[in-house]
Structure 1
Amino acid sequence: MSAPTNKGLLTIGDVARRTGLAVSAIRYYDDEGLVSARRTPGGKRMFIRSDIRRLSFILIAQKMGFSLEEIRTQLKQLPLERTPTKRDWEKISRGFRTHLDERIAMLERLRDRLDGCIGCGCLSLVACKLYNPGDRMAESGTGPRLVVQTSNNGA
């Protein structure tokens, strides 16, 4: 029988079954402070039900390509000791929406610039839309500037 302070808490196995995450992943997220397990006198990790939502959010955010540090920043806005409200989640949603909009715009630039080259198959550097004569894009920074920059300067 659980101690009175553990009433309503879930074991790590219960949480793993509910989220589909491996127990080792849940331990890792706990060690990283993304969730906060309570400990029984014997050291067993116990979780509140809202941790299922936090872990599900982590899983979804990772599948969308967010780093653990980006996820941690967003989760800091949620309370650890109570179930987040709709308003709490809306706040996080606004932050993620900005990041998602930026990623969508970058993916669209990538798609729009690559389909010409991939579609024609000529592999001609003279005709390619991504051609960069005289390395003029080096002036605007490192990496694939025609894809990552937000304007068409120099393109």
Structure 2
Amino acid sequence: MLNALEIFTTVVVGVMVGVEFSVAFFVKAILDGLPDDSAQRGRSHGGRLLGAVMPVWYFTSLALVAVWAVAGWQDHGAGLVVTAAALLILSVIMSIVLLVPINNRGKTWTVDNRPADWKQQMNRWDRFHYVRVAVIIAAFALLVAALT
């Protein structure tokens, strides 16, 4: 049963990492290549869509890793799993403190009501997101290492 939990958790976290990596390096590049109005509209729509889905995914991932840490406490990789959980906690804190406030503003913007500094705010979100992606990649790598 523990093996199934470990594999399921690793897949769930891995897919989350893949989505966030894609947002950082592919979706951003696609949106940045669009004319200003389209880029801002795309970011607003993406903020609404992913802003609704990703919190559930982050907390589910964290809960699964916590269950794995408790259930596998005696295993040789328990320290790696606990460290991965700590990194996921850090990613959630970063999200709540740094990224969500910018996202909550950005998802309400239209071409008519966006602030003059909307691009700077989005660039700031992108920088925070790059760091968060690095954190969750590290957590994922630790989970994979714990499987071996």
Same fold (TM over 0.5): no
Which structure's residues are more often helix, by fraction? Answer: 2
Which structure's residues are more often strand, by fraction? Answer: 1
Q: Which has the higher contact order (CA 8 A, sep 6+)?
A: 2
The TM tier, using the shorter chain, reads 0.3 to 0.5
> Could you state the TM-score of these two structures normalised by the residue count of structure 1?
0.34
Larger Cα-atom Rg: 1
